[in-house]
Amino acid sequence: MPPSSIAIIGGGIAGLSSAFYLSRRFPQAAITLFEKSSREGGWINSRRVDVKDGHGNRAQMLLEAGPRTLRSNSGAVLELINLLDLRSSLITTPKTSPAAKHQFLQIPGRPGLTRLPSSLFSLLSLPYASSALVPSILLEAVRPSNKPKGQDDESLGAFLTRRFGAKFERLFGSALVHGIYAADSRMLSTKAAFPMLLEAEKRGNGSLVWGMLRGREKVGLFAGYDVGEVRTLVDNASIFSFFDGMESIPKALKSYLNTAQNVTIKTGVDVNGLRPTTNSEDIEVILGNGETLNASHVVSAIPLPELSKLTSSAPADVLPHLKANPLSSVTVINVVFPPSTRPIHPLGFGYLVPRPAGGYAVPSSGFLGTVFDSCALAAQDTGASGFTKLTVMLGGPHLLTQAHTRMENVLAQLQHHLAPINHLQKGARLPWPVYYEATEHKACIPLLTVGHVGRMNEMKAALKGGPWKGRLEVVGAGVGGVSVGDCVEAGRNVGKDW
Ligand SMILES: Cc1cc2nc3c(=O)[nH]c(=O)nc-3n(C[C@H](O)[C@H](O)[C@H](O)COP(=O)(O)OP(=O)(O)OC[C@H]3O[C@@H](n4cnc5c(N)ncnc54)[C@H](O)[C@@H]3O)c2cc1C
């Protein structure tokens, strides 16, 4: 029997995407989405601020507190952009632009930035030839396959150490994981977070370098997705966003859902219990205000530890592994500098900061990385040109104190990182920002620890059988991947077996 009534819990991108696709797949079903806060979008949060300097220059800067960019490899996101008609507001960063080609590392304890190679060819040039990079990569290419037999999963840290050595893992692997997961690479599951590396290892008969040189089969990447001309628009883009930022997607989803006959969005309403009913196949949804309603099917699009609270009333209904993964916390600091004759930072996407040699227990700047937003997405800003916006990310596995996020300290760190590589004259200081804002995101990114894929398969099996009878589906960042693309893809697939 197709669903007659569907309750969706959570109005982040996973919940909104679920509502969008379910409303089209089951036009006869009454769909209600419950979001406990007053706004939809979850971690996606874009805003425009007015800034001015002491010389009368004014601008309106688009700032992101959460995700800021998308990649063109997600068919689900491209399809959503096409179906929601967001094409005209797309802003792309061409693959040939400095923001696409130049990335940097800030190695703790050293001033300045180290540029990362943009291609295998540039790897052969100095200064890389003398760095940890080249020997590790050359050795990897000739190292025999060393994947432990029968091992189902390992941390990204263990994987990269096994193939490239410990120094490479700390400098490059840990920095990469800081940039995407705000986490410790030694805890993150390779299978869950970087399955493409395992595929490359297989393609290269044990060598990641050979596997990557052989390349991935790209044919049919978007087969089955209604991407229209969006594919052409983002084809040559390394990353993209929208004129009004990432929140353009949840806002467009909300507008679509508000006009759909079969969908109701209830903000400011939290769900605090879920129970399979005993006398029917329905699921009882208990709201924070004490009301209850029965739904024939339910989608949970909230963090897994939250769902565990909702299902904890009857031991038989408890789902396994909901509390297995910790969540990382991140402080995002948006900074806008006034126009200046000297550039604030080198041209590029930004820089990442690897794990300190002494680990996370040693005192550190707390920096995970900094994004040079003006370089990649300047077209989002209007008014006077010349203002520079960047975003500093702190926290994750680092222990943060309030002192870490004070602007004086952040500026001192930026000075240490940016001054030597920049054209700043000796002794010159970075200007005081015309705008800055720190946002603390507690428990915002699930850390998919080793064994995650196996645990999620067990959870899905428990949902199919037992008291839930396949009528509860669980999606969101904590299940199948944390990127916006992963969350939209999950929403697109929800209810396919109903
Ligand atoms: C700082 C930061 C930067 C990021 N950068 C990028 C990026 O550049 N690119 C990218 O692709 N991804 C990025 N991500 C990841 C991505 O943004 C998130 O993983 C994704 O938005 C999560 O969406 P979600 O719907 O699963 O969860 P959420 O956004 O957490 O939404 C869940 C919603 O459920 C609601 N809720 C919770 N409990 C209840 C309840 N009991 N009843 C009702 N409602 C409830 C919450 O209020 C929330 O609105 C970033 C994440 C962060 C935090």
Q: How many domains does the chain have?
A: 2
Give the list of residues 6+ apart from residue 465 with CB closer than 8 angstroms, or none. none
The confidence score (pLDDT) of residue 117 equals 78
Which tokens belong to 265? Answer: 């969005």
Please give the Cα distance from 30 to 5 (Å, whole number).
5
Would 217 be classed as within a structural domain? Answer: no
198 in a domain, yes or no? no
**Whether residue 118 has pLDDT greater than 80:** no
With a cut of 60, say whether residue 129 has pLDDT above it: no
Same domain, 287 and 432: no
Residue 151 has pLDDT above 60, yes or no: yes
Q: Return the HEC string of 246-309.
A: CCHHHHHHHHHHHHCCCEEEEECCCEEEEEECCCCCCEEEEECCCCEEEECEEEECCCHHHHHH
Helices (H), 330-445: 373-377, 407-418
Question: pLDDT class for 323, splitting at 50, 70, 90?
Answer: very high
> Which atom belonging to ligand 1 lies closest to the Cα atom of 34?
43
Among 446, 461, 481, the domain-final residue is 446
Is residue 278 very low, low, confident or very high in pLDDT (cuts 50, 70, 90)?
confident
Residues 357 and 440 in one domain: yes
Distance from residue 43's CA to the centre of ligand 1 (Å)? 4
pLDDT tens digits for range 184-226: 999 999 999 999 999 999 999 999 999 988 887 766 788 999 9
Does residue 441 sit in the same domain as residue 455?
A: no
Output the CA 14–ligand 1 centroid distance in Å: 8
Backbone angles phi, psi at 438, to 5 degrees: -105, 130
Domain match, 420 and 308 both: no
Q: Indicate if 264 and 358 belong to the same structural domain.
A: no
Place of tokens 């009857």: 314
35 lines ligand 1 (CB under 6 A): yes
pLDDT at site 281? 86
pLDDT at residue 41, as a whole number = 98
pLDDT at residue 111 tops 90: no
| Predicted local confidence at residue 459, as pLDDT | 95
pLDDT tens, residue by residue, 326-371: 999 999 999 999 998 888 999 999 999 999 999 999 989 999 999 9
Residue to probe by mutation, ligand 1, list 74, 349, 437, 484, most atoms within 8 Å of CB = 484
Reference 390, options 398, 381, 399, 382; nearest CA is 381
What are the pLDDT digits (tens) for 80-100? Answer: 999 999 999 999 999 999 999
39 found inside a domain:
yes
Whether 58 shows a pLDDT value over 60: the answer reads: yes
DSSP state string for 218-247: -TTTTTT---TTHHHHHTTEEEEEETT-TT
Give the atom of ligand 1 at the shortest distance from the alpha carbon of 16: 25
Peptide bond into 354 cis (omega under 30): no
Domain containing residue 11: CATH number: 3.50.50.60
What token pair was written down for 89?
């507001």
pLDDT at 428: 73
Ligand 1 center to residue 299 CA distance, Å?
15
The per-residue pLDDT for 128 is: 54
Determine if ligand 1 sits within 6 Å of the CB of residue 67. yes
The answer as to whether 62 is a domain residue is: yes
Residue 424 has pLDDT above 60, yes or no: no
Establish if 95 belongs to a structural domain.
Answer: yes
CA–centroid distance, residue 477 to ligand 1 (Å): 7
pLDDT at residue 421 above 70?
no
3-class SS at 24? helix
CB of residue 437 inside a 6 A radius of ligand 1: no
Please indicate, yes or no, whether residues 427 and 456 belong to a single structural domain of this protein: no
pLDDT at 465: 83
Residue 265 clears pLDDT 70, i.e. is over it: yes
Confidence of residue 122 (pLDDT cuts 50, 70, 90): low
373: CB partners within 8 A, 6+ apart: 64, 68, 389, 390, 391
In a domain, 156, yes or no: no
Answer yes or no: do 32 and 54 share one domain.
no
Calculate mean pLDDT across residues 36-48: 98
Q: Could you give the CA distance from residue 17 to residue 21 in angstroms, rounded to a whole number?
A: 6
Give the model's confidence band at 116: pLDDT under 50 very low, under 70 low, under 90 confident, else very high.
confident
What integer best gives the mean pLDDT of the chain?
92
Q: Is the pLDDT assigned to residue 419 strictly greater than 60? A: yes
Domain holding 50: CATH number? 3.90.660
**418 and 464, same domain (yes or no):** no
- The residue length of the chain stands at 498
Phi–psi pair at 161, nearest 5 degrees: -65, -45
Question: Which of 214-223, 270-279, 403-412 is least confident?
Answer: 214-223
pLDDT digits (tens, 9 = 90+) for 279-306: 788 999 999 999 999 999 999 999 999 9
Read off the pLDDT of each residue in 483-490 and give the average, rounded to a whole number: 98
CB of 271 closer than 6 angstroms to any ligand 1 atom: yes
Cβ-in-10-Å burial (0-12, 13-18, 19+) of 426 comes to: exposed
Residues 287 and 375 reside in one and the same domain = no
Q: Does 130 reside within a domain?
A: no
Helices in 345-431 by DSSP H: which ranges? Answer: 373-377, 407-418
Distance of alpha carbon 121 from alpha carbon 248, whole angstroms:
38
**Residue 166 has what pLDDT?**
95
Distances, alpha carbon 432 to alpha carbons 58, 112, 165, 402, in Å: 16, 19, 41, 20
Q: How far is the CA of 137 from the centre of ligand 1 (A)?
A: 36
Ligand 1 proximity of 181 Cβ (cutoff 6 Å) = no
Tell me the residue range of the domain where 486 lies: 5-43+247-324+448-493
Highest mean pLDDT among 31-35, 132-136, 277-281, 420-424: 31-35
Same domain, 428 and 473: no
Same domain for 441 and 399, yes or no, is: yes
Does residue 377 form part of some domain?
yes
Residue 406 contacts by C-beta under 8 Å, 6 or more apart in sequence?
Answer: none
| The pLDDT value given to residue 123 | 63
* Claim to verify: residue 22 and residue 66 sit in the same structural domain: no
Residue (of 408, 447, 242) closest to 330 by Cα position: 447
